[in-house]
Amino acid sequence: MDLGIKGKTALILGASQGLGAAIAAKLAEEGANLVLVARNGEALERSAKELSAAHGITATGISVDLSDAEAVAAFAAQIRSEIKPDMLVANAGGPPPSPAIGVEQEVWQRSAQLLLFSIIQVTEAAVEGMREKGWGRVLAIGSSGVIQPIPNLAVSNTIRGAVAGFCKTLAAEVAGDGVTVNMILPGKIDTARVGQLDTARAGREGKTVEQVRTEIAASLPIKRYGAPSEFASVAAFLLSQPAGYVTGQMTRVDGGMIRSI
Ligand SMILES: NC(=O)c1ccc[n+]([C@@H]2O[C@H](COP(=O)([O-])OP(=O)(O)OC[C@H]3O[C@@H](n4cnc5c(N)ncnc54)[C@H](OP(=O)(O)O)[C@@H]3O)[C@@H](O)[C@H]2O)c1
């Protein structure tokens, strides 16, 4: 299937590794130009060089700390004046694991800045140009915890619910301008983030990481973790031309992990 995004520009947040990097690779294969964002500028530059050499696209890296409100305000201005993306992948690093009670105010605030306020500000800036062009795609990376809160991930469960509310509201506001807004919910996709959570759980439960991973895989209907490229294929479709009639949706990429309909 031709995804119809050759020559379009994708702005991908959290693109230095994991899910964001996998989406960048998939969109590059489809001929999209890339603007990659994270804190690790060296990793972004390296991946921008590799992807542009391999696929004949334009790719650049911009180092932005999305937990820094001032930096994000400056970045939003740059999105409006220079980047003007056709596609936005709204993504950032996950918050630390913890129960709902006892989280320090500073952690709530920093996590909300990173995963909610910055995402709103960047999305608003990106959507402005999309509406003018009459075409655009916003895809926010959430978590299965939006639907089925994950024990000991209280901050993530809480803040991602707010992102879901923002996306659904925005989707209705911009649908008539050719802009779709969707959320994609990973379950257990094998990235560094999931590795860190597994390691933390192994420490809490006095098990080896391998034991924890075997138990988790066995608990999933599909009996294995997902590959980042499997996740990225679904993301690429939701960002594509043929997905133009899909908006305001949450798509689960979780191997059947969420048990509800
Ligand atoms: N993998 C899964 O199955 C899964 C499941 C549920 C939810 N999620 C969520 O999906 C998101 C992506 O997951 P992942 O597995 O790809 O995580 P990851 O491997 O930890 O990657 C996170 C990305 O976000 C960037 N980032 C982190 N903090 C940042 C900051 N302050 N400013 C700018 N960029 C920042 C990181 O780059 P730098 O360090 O270079 O900044 C990296 O590129 C996370 O929010 C995660 O919690 C993932």
**Residue 128 lies inside a defined structural domain of this protein:** yes
**Residue 213 lies inside a defined structural domain of this protein:** yes
Q: What pLDDT does 88 receive?
A: 99
Q: What pLDDT does 218 receive?
A: 98
**Residue 40 lies inside a defined structural domain of this protein:** yes
Shared domain check, 244 and 207: no
Could you report the per-residue pLDDT of 28-80, keeping only the tens digit for each? 999 999 999 999 999 999 999 999 999 999 999 999 999 999 999 999 999 99
Q: What pLDDT does 142 receive?
A: 98
pLDDT band at 133 (very low <50, low <70, confident <90, very high): very high
Closest residue to atom 45 of ligand 1, CA basis: 94
Taking the CA of residue 144 as reference, the ligand 1 atom at the shortest distance is 6
Q: What pLDDT does 101 receive?
A: 98
Closest residue to atom 22 of ligand 1, CA basis: 93
Rounded mean pLDDT, 215-228: 98
Taking the CA of residue 95 as reference, the ligand 1 atom at the shortest distance is 47
pLDDT band at 109 (very low <50, low <70, confident <90, very high): very high
Name which of 225, 226, 200 is nearest 214 in CA terms. Answer: 225
CA of 40 relative to ligand 1 center, distance in Å: 12
Phi, psi of 190 (to 5 degrees): -75, 90
Pocket of ligand 1, candidates 66, 191, 197: which has the most ligand atoms within 8 Å of its Cβ, to mutate? 191
**Residue 2 lies inside a defined structural domain of this protein:** no
**Residue 1 lies inside a defined structural domain of this protein:** no
Shared domain check, 213 and 167: no
Shared domain check, 54 and 157: yes
Shared domain check, 197 and 102: no
Shared domain check, 105 and 59: yes
Domain that holds residue 30: 9-187+228-253
pLDDT band at 246 (very low <50, low <70, confident <90, very high): very high
pLDDT band at 216 (very low <50, low <70, confident <90, very high): very high
Q: What pLDDT does 245 receive?
A: 98
Question: In what helix (H) or strand (E) does residue 58 lie, and over which residues does it extend?
Answer: none
Q: What pLDDT does 161 receive?
A: 98
Instruction: Indicate the Cα dihedral angle 83, 85, 88, 90, nearest 10°.
Output: 20
Shared domain check, 216 and 122: no
CA of 94 relative to ligand 1 center, distance in Å: 5
CA of 15 relative to ligand 1 center, distance in Å: 8
Return left, alpha or beta for 4; rule: phi > 0 is left, psi -120 to 50 is alpha, else beta.
left
**Residue 123 lies inside a defined structural domain of this protein:** yes
Closest residue to atom 42 of ligand 1, CA basis: 14
Shared domain check, 161 and 194: no
Does pTM surpass 0.95? yes
Closest residue to atom 20 of ligand 1, CA basis: 193
Taking the CA of residue 19 as reference, the ligand 1 atom at the shortest distance is 16
Provide Rg for the chain, Cα atoms. 18
pLDDT band at 229 (very low <50, low <70, confident <90, very high): very high
CA of 132 relative to ligand 1 center, distance in Å: 30
Shared domain check, 214 and 103: no
Q: What pLDDT does 39 receive?
A: 98
CA of 63 relative to ligand 1 center, distance in Å: 14
Shared domain check, 206 and 177: no
Could you report the per-residue pLDDT of 162-202, keeping only the tens digit for each? 999 999 999 999 999 999 999 999 999 999 999 999 999 99
**Residue 4 lies inside a defined structural domain of this protein:** no
Taking the CA of residue 21 as reference, the ligand 1 atom at the shortest distance is 43
Rounded mean pLDDT, 151-172: 98
Q: Which residues line ligand 1 (CB under 6 A)?
A: 14-20, 38-40, 64-67, 91-94, 114, 141, 143, 186, 188-189, 191-194
CATH number of 100's domain: 3.40.50.720
State how far the Cα of 62 lies from the Cα of 166, in Å rounded to an integer.
25
**Residue 100 lies inside a defined structural domain of this protein:** yes
Rounded mean pLDDT, 118-128: 98
Q: How much is the mean pLDDT over the chain? A: 98
Shared domain check, 34 and 157: yes
Shared domain check, 118 and 183: yes
Shared domain check, 221 and 158: no
Q: How many domains does the chain have?
A: 2
Q: Report the percent of the chain where pLDDT is more than 70.
A: 100
Q: How are beta strands 87-90 and 179-186 bridged, if at all?
A: unpaired
3-class DSSP state of 17: coil
